[in-house]
Amino acid sequence: MREYLLYVLYIIFILYVIALIAAKIHSPFWFHQPVYHPYEIYPRWCTIPYCKRKLLPKLGIFCKPDQIISYSWNNCSDEIMNKIVELLQGHYVDNNSHLFHMDIDKFQKCLKMDTSSMLSVFHDFHLKEPTFQKCLDKSKIWGSITSRPIDLFFLKFSQKNTQIHFWDFICVNGNYKSKTLSRNLIQTHIFNHLRIDPTFSGIYLFKKEVELCKGIVPLIETKVYTFLLKPTPIQKLPQYYSVRCLNKTHVHLWNAIYAEMTTQFEICCLANTATSLEWLENERYTIWICVLKENKVEHIHGVYILENTFISWDNDNIERKSMVRLAGSMIFRKEYPYDMDNLYFFKGFLHSLKNYLYDQKQYGVLEIPNISHNRHILKRWHEKYELKNETDIAYYLYNMVYPKSPINSNNIIIIG
């Protein structure tokens, strides 16, 4: 009997080693990173989120600190930012079907969360005449990655709330696509970031679309739905209902909404409150609310956050080509006894979008990710508009494991 148990243990051990080898072959980059791997056993039994790597990272095989230079927000010149913007305009999205309308002002607004935002760029070597010595050519940027701080809130584990960074604008010039430069950018950005700011937690969040990451368990995995907007008659809002757009005079109201988000969703990823106030007066996010007036007292029913994607469709058959995204939505209270089927919540969105499009006539494409309370809107939206595109999307944590991942995408909101 004892020998039989030993044989069983040997077989299990050998199978596990084979699984590790297969995982390394299947995903050579992520295998060496502190992420939640599918073959890991401990996260399936652990009950609280935990950080995987607490020490500073070592110089890994994918690091290229001699070619990839990182800057904090304060130390990055306008010249570098302009070159990053030029790279993004030409290579950030698939130019066969989309155009990316980014300029230096918009880029700075996206990143200017606070001075801890980071930027990394890749330069290639060239031979300097007349000696033909190998030198770094800083006049051209062939790849970029940025990260900006966001606050991570856990509903069930508030003691684990922390500030992390969100990776964005990971972009590689088409001539360097075959060189797996994105891996070098990610690894070196992390390496440089933690040396510039050793107090940083080392935890990141990032998004992947279409081709999802291999060898990582996502925090959430869901879909994004794209619709073409057409003139459609909508019913009036019920009596005592109205919609309004928040602006810089609604600071206290937005603070209340922000606080409510952190108590409604299992996980909440938001820019810090001070930074999020800038949304009330910039063009990236527009916040609408649906309000019910009852006994002369106004109550928030729904919150809808629209995001300017800076993307347009390169299609001559579409008159209004720019795309707007419903980044997130929230029923302010968990349950309204007079709106059990969430019809009024949906109507509030319709009227908010109608008013928004009245002022922003360039938008003719709407993107709705199945995240937060967007599912209530998607359920009815499919009945009114033709689906144009459906895309896989996932969010991943780097250097942190959240137990029982992936979670339901309706239990998380990510705005930042």
Q: In this structure, what DSSP letter does residue 49 have?
A: -
Closest CA to 222 of 395, 67, 401, 66: 395
> What is the per-residue pLDDT for 42?
80
- Give CA–CA dist 382/373, Å, rounded: 15
- Tokens, residue 152: 């991570």
Domain harbouring 281, CATH code? 3.40.630.30
- 216 falls within a domain: no
Q: Is 378 within a domain? A: yes
Q: What's the rounded mean pLDDT across residues 64-87? A: 88
Assess if residue 407 is contained within a domain.
Answer: yes
Domain with 177, as residue range(s), is 39-211
Mean pLDDT score of the chain: 85
35 contacts 406 by C-beta, under 8 angstroms: no
Q: How many domains does the chain have?
A: 3
Residue 178: other Cβ atoms inside 10 A: 8
**Distance between CA atoms of 306 and 255, rounded to whole angstroms?**
18
Q: Would 191 be classed as within a structural domain?
A: yes
3-class secondary-structure state, position 217: coil
Better pLDDT: 340 or 151: 151
In this prediction, residues 101-105 reach a mean pLDDT of 80
Pairing of strands 143-154, 267-270: antiparallel
**176 in any annotated domain:** yes
* Residue 166 identity (one-letter amino acid): F
Whether residue 250 is predicted with pLDDT greater than 70 in this model: the reply is yes
State the chain's maximal CA–CA distance in angstroms.
83
Do 155 and 88 share a domain, yes or no? yes
Residues 195 and 292 in one domain: no
Collapsing DSSP to helix, strand or coil, 182 comes out as helix
Q: Give the model confidence (pLDDT) of 366-401 as tens digits.
A: 999 999 999 999 988 887 787 888 999 999 999 999
pLDDT of residue 261: 93
Nearest to 25 by CA among 11, 13, 39: 39
Mean pLDDT to the nearest integer, 291-316: 86
pLDDT digits (tens, 9 = 90+) for 199-247: 898 999 999 998 898 889 999 999 999 998 888 788 888 888 899 999 9
Shared domain for 24 and 87, answered yes or no, is: no
Do 74 and 206 share a structural domain? Answer: yes
190 and 309 assigned to the same domain: no
Q: Could you read off the pLDDT of 20-50 as tens digits, one per residue?
A: 565 555 566 777 788 998 888 787 888 899 9
Same domain flag for 180 and 250: no
pLDDT at 26: 56
Q: What is the pLDDT of residue 267?
A: 96
The residues, ordered by sequence, that sit 6+ positions from 64 with a Cβ below 8 Å of its Cβ are: 122, 184, 188
* Helices marked H in 303-373: 343-359
pLDDT value of residue 138 = 80
More confident position, 206 or 316: 206
Please give the torsion angle defined by the CA atoms of residues 401, 390, 279 and 201, in that order, rounded to the nearest 10 degrees. Answer: 20
Same-domain check for residues 286 and 364: yes
| Per-residue confidence (pLDDT) for residue 11, from 0 to 100 | 64
pLDDT at 336 > cutoff 80: no
Do both 282 and 302 map to the same domain? Answer: yes
Please indicate, yes or no, if residue 284 is contained in any of the structural domains.
yes
Same domain? 322 vs 360: yes
Nearest partner of 62 among 221, 184, 186, judged by Cα: 184
| 218 in any annotated domain | no
* pLDDT reported for residue 188: 93
What is the reported pTM? 0.89
**110 and 254 within one domain:** no
Q: What do you get for the CA distance between the two ends of the chain, in Å?
A: 58
Going by their DSSP bridges, the two strands 204-209 and 162-172 should be labelled as parallel
Are residues 74 and 14 part of one domain?
no
pLDDT reported for residue 224: 95
154-194 pLDDT, tens digit per residue, is 999 999 999 999 999 999 988 887 768 888 999 999 999 99
Same domain, 348 and 409: yes
Q: For residue 28, count other CB atoms closer than 10 A to its CB.
A: 15
Phi/psi-derived region of residue 180, left when phi > 0, alpha when psi is between -120 and 50, beta in every other case: left
CA nearest to 282, candidates 263, 260, 307, 262: 307
Residue 410 maps to a domain: yes
Give the Cα separation of 116 and 82 in Å (integer): 19
